Amino acid sequence: MLTRRKFLKLCVQTTVAASLSQLLLPDLARALRLLPGGKPAVLWIEGTSCTGNTVSLDNSADPALREVLEEIIDLRYSQLLMWPQNNEAVQILYDTREKQRDNFILVVEGGIPLGMPEAVIIGANDGLPLYATEVIPWLAEAARAVVAVGNCAAFGGPAKTIPNPTGTKGVWEVVTSKPVINVPGCPAHPDWMVGTLVHLLLYGLPETDEFRRPRLFFSKLVHDLCPRRFAFFDGKFAQAPGGEGCLLKVGCKGPITHADCPTRKFNDGVNWCINAGNPCIGCAAPDFPDGGTAPFFARLGDVHLPAGIRSTAVSVTKAVGAATALGIGGHLAAGFARRRLGKNRLAPVSAPQETSGGKDAQDHD
Ligand code: SF4
């Protein structure tokens, strides 16, 4: 029996040794077989996206994507993966909406281009285009729940970057008829997607934070889980991406980004951004990238460094940044609390100065 307690434990305990899907598969297949009506259907609709989240799901090696689709979800519609076309494909949407009302799960990958509906055409019905702007709310109204995967679907993400010619919005800004769960990331981790779907199927809506992200995966700051945190405390900072030490000074947004990447890692535990020497770009943050995580290689401003060292101001997010900053450990939170984060982004600083020995000896106030 896969109890919720056991499921939550597996989610948190997942390590590089095994993906969540791998750990869940045997129990899950049994549990899903016992559900009345079997596995609920899933419709996966693309909005303004690069389809990177589908590719991320495909990067799950054990179980492979085929097993996820066959054992965990009953994926009926995906513009990227399905072979039916035109009327035959669209019929699946109509059938599922009618026959599985309040039982199917709608997954949306990508934002909703409200200002330019013709930017995303889901398919064609008798030669007439079906726009994502119309199809997504129409399906959502009949769905059991809506899951927005990837930062574009959750918060607009890269598709919403200034000047946002398509008028893209996150799904939860448009869909109000049903609960929307945000699973951000650029792309989202396969475990985050599968784990959220499994929770929905077996136990109902997962507990979420104020940005509707499942707390299971997004309750802790990258910074608090980061293995380079020891270097942060020691004041050892990399002077360029790829360097040794904490990556704060080359733009790391770990201190304002909630996600469990450091313990979960990507590509079945092969690696993750910071371990590869690249600063966290904050891709799971609600205002990624325009609102405070870009420029990616400009360092966060107004951040207290250890031993009273202060970083020079740079693009800290506005309201969202203030909210996420509250979750930063005490040594950082104190710095944020003393200063009001401005409504507008602060000017970026120039690239970090080279220092001898990697110590941040020149940044004392
Ligand atoms: Fe890790 Fe970035 Fe925090 Fe440094 S600033 S400890 S690299 S998360």
CATH number at residue 163: 3.40.50.700
Do the domain assignments include residue 350?
no
What whole-number distance in Å separates Cα of residue 299 and Cα of residue 261? 20
- Structure-token match 């389809």, residue found: 51
Return the percentage of the chain with pLDDT > 70, whole number.
75
Lookup: tokens for 70: 């066959």
Least confident segment among 97-101, 166-170, 265-269: 265-269
- Judge whether residue 349 has pLDDT over 80: no
Atom number, ligand 1, closest to the C-alpha of residue 252: 2
Identify whether residues 174 and 254 lie together within a single domain. Answer: no
Do the domain assignments include residue 357?
no
Lookup: tokens for 5: 């307690």
pLDDT at 62: 61
Handedness of CA 70, 204, 321, 362 (dihedral sign): negative
Identify whether residues 246 and 316 lie together within a single domain. Answer: yes
- Number of domains composing the chain: 2
Atom number, ligand 1, closest to the C-alpha of residue 227: 1
More confident residue, 355 or 162: 162
Domain region containing 245: 222-343
Do the domain assignments include residue 58?
yes
pLDDT at 18: 58
Do the domain assignments include residue 360?
no
Q: Whose C-alpha lies nearest to ligand 1, atom 5?
A: 248
Identify whether residues 254 and 302 lie together within a single domain. Answer: yes
- Judge whether residue 65 has pLDDT over 60: yes
What's the average model confidence in pLDDT over 336-345?
29
From 230, 237, 248, 257, the mutation candidate for ligand 1 (largest count of ligand atoms within 8 A of CB) is: 248
pLDDT at 126: 83
Identify whether residues 214 and 188 lie together within a single domain. Answer: yes
- Judge whether residue 313 has pLDDT over 70: no
Q: For residue 298, give the DSSP letter.
A: S
Q: What band does 275 get if pLDDT is binned at 50, 70 and 90?
A: very high
| Gap from CA of 327 to ligand 1 centroid (Å) | 14
What's the average model confidence in pLDDT over 5-20?
68
- Judge whether residue 86 has pLDDT over 70: yes
Atom number, ligand 1, closest to the C-alpha of residue 274: 7
Identify whether residues 47 and 80 lie together within a single domain. Answer: yes
What whole-number distance in Å separates Cα of residue 212 and Cα of residue 198? 17
pLDDT at 256: 93
| Gap from CA of 226 to ligand 1 centroid (Å) | 6
Instruction: Tell me the sheet residues that pair with 77.
Output: 43
Q: What band does 302 get if pLDDT is binned at 50, 70 and 90?
A: low
pLDDT tens per residue across span 117-167? 999 999 888 889 999 999 999 999 999 999 999 999 999 999 999 999 999
- Judge whether residue 360 has pLDDT over 70: no
Q: Whose C-alpha lies nearest to ligand 1, atom 3?
A: 223
Identify whether residues 85 and 194 lie together within a single domain. Answer: yes
CATH number at residue 259: 4.10.480.10
Lookup: tokens for 207: 């507990």
Is the shortest distance between the CB of 142 and ligand 1 below 6 Å? no
- Judge whether residue 340 has pLDDT over 50: no
Return the percentage of the chain with pLDDT > 90, whole number.
55
**Arithmetic mean of pLDDT over the chain:** 80
pLDDT at 23: 67
Please enumerate in sequence order all residues whose Cβ is within 8 A of that of 43, keeping only pairs 6 or more positions apart, or say none. 76, 77, 92, 93, 96, 104, 105, 106, 107, 139, 143
pLDDT at 331: 36
Q: What band does 344 get if pLDDT is binned at 50, 70 and 90?
A: very low
Is the shortest distance between the CB of 296 and ligand 1 below 6 Å? no
Identify whether residues 175 and 240 lie together within a single domain. Answer: no
What whole-number distance in Å separates Cα of residue 238 and Cα of residue 254? 15
| Gap from CA of 232 to ligand 1 centroid (Å) | 7
| Gap from CA of 305 to ligand 1 centroid (Å) | 11
Is the shortest distance between the CB of 169 and ligand 1 below 6 Å? no
Q: Which of 218, 244, 268 is the last residue of a domain?
A: 218
Identify whether residues 75 and 200 lie together within a single domain. Answer: yes
